[in-house]
């Protein structure tokens, strides 16, 4: 039985998977809106996020310091398969109940964190490689509520940068990116 989290991930995941599938290996060294991460490093991080949030959905321990290279032969297909598993893991109603034993946050908040990574890093990778990206509207709305609740904490922990200005009439995704410390008009040039 799907959950609200899995429904949001179901809509957001294919958008990011499409960007990842279109990445070329010769783009790995390009800069991204995440200043410390070229495309390859950001993709490696996103792949690790997908794997770790599968584990968090079933309350298994994660290893964020694991440096295993996930971008070996067949990585595009494996990323797509693991992203499907992420959605499936969060479809179990038990995944969104209670508090995470490892992170001490409500499980539903962890689901929103997975959604944020898929959505925002999908945009990051698309922007870095000149691809189109249209975020899932319901995901963006949910992530604005997530930022209302967790934005300050996320900034203190280094997950988000300081907010940047966005035009009052900016699109919802652009306002979200600005809240997370990204310049919605960023380009690699």
Domain boundaries, the chain: 4-139
Q: Digits of tens for pLDDT over the chain (189 positions)?
A: 789 999 999 999 999 999 999 999 999 999 999 988 999 999 999 999 999 999 999 999 898 888 899 999 999 999 999 999 999 999 999 999 999 987 889 999 999 999 999 999 999 999 999 999 999 999 999 999 999 999 999 999 989 999 999 998 999 999 999 999 999 999 987
The per-residue DSSP string of 81-145 comes to: HHHHHHHHHHHSGGGGSSB-TTT-SBHHHHHHHHHHHHHHHHHHHHHHHT------HHHHHHHHH
Q: How buried is residue 74: exposed, middle or buried, by Cβ count under 10 Å (0-12/13-18/19+)? A: exposed
Instruction: Judge whether 8 and 142 are in contact, CB under 8 Å.
Output: yes
DSSP codes, 2-14:
--HHHHHHHHHHH
One CATH from 1.10.1060.10, 1.10.260.40, 1.20.120.450, 1.10.357.10 for 4-139: 1.20.120.450
């Amino acid at each position: 039985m799907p959950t609200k989290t899995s429904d949001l991930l179901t809509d957001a995941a294919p958008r990011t998977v499409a960007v990842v599938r279109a990445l070329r290996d010769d783009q790995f060294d390009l800069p991204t809106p995440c200043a410390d991460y070229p495309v390859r490093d950001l993709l490696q991080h996103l792949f690790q996020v997908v794997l770790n949030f599968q584990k968090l959905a079933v309350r298994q321990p994660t290893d964020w310091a694991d440096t295993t290279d996930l971008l070996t032969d067949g990585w595009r297909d494996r990323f797509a398969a693991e992203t499907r598993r992420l959605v499936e893991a969060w479809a179990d109603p038990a995944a969104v109940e209670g508090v995470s034993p490892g992170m001490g946050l409500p499980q539903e908040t962890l689901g929103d964190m997975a959604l944020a990574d898929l959505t925002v890093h999908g945009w990051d990778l698309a922007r870095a490689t000149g691809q189109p990206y249209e975020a899932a509207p319901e995901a963006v709305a949910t992530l604005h509520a997530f930022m209302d609740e967790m934005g300050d904490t996320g900034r203190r922990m280094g997950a988000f940068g300081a907010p940047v200005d966005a035009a009052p009439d900016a699109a919802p995704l652009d306002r979200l990116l600005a809240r997370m410390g990204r310049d919605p008009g960023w380009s690699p040039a």
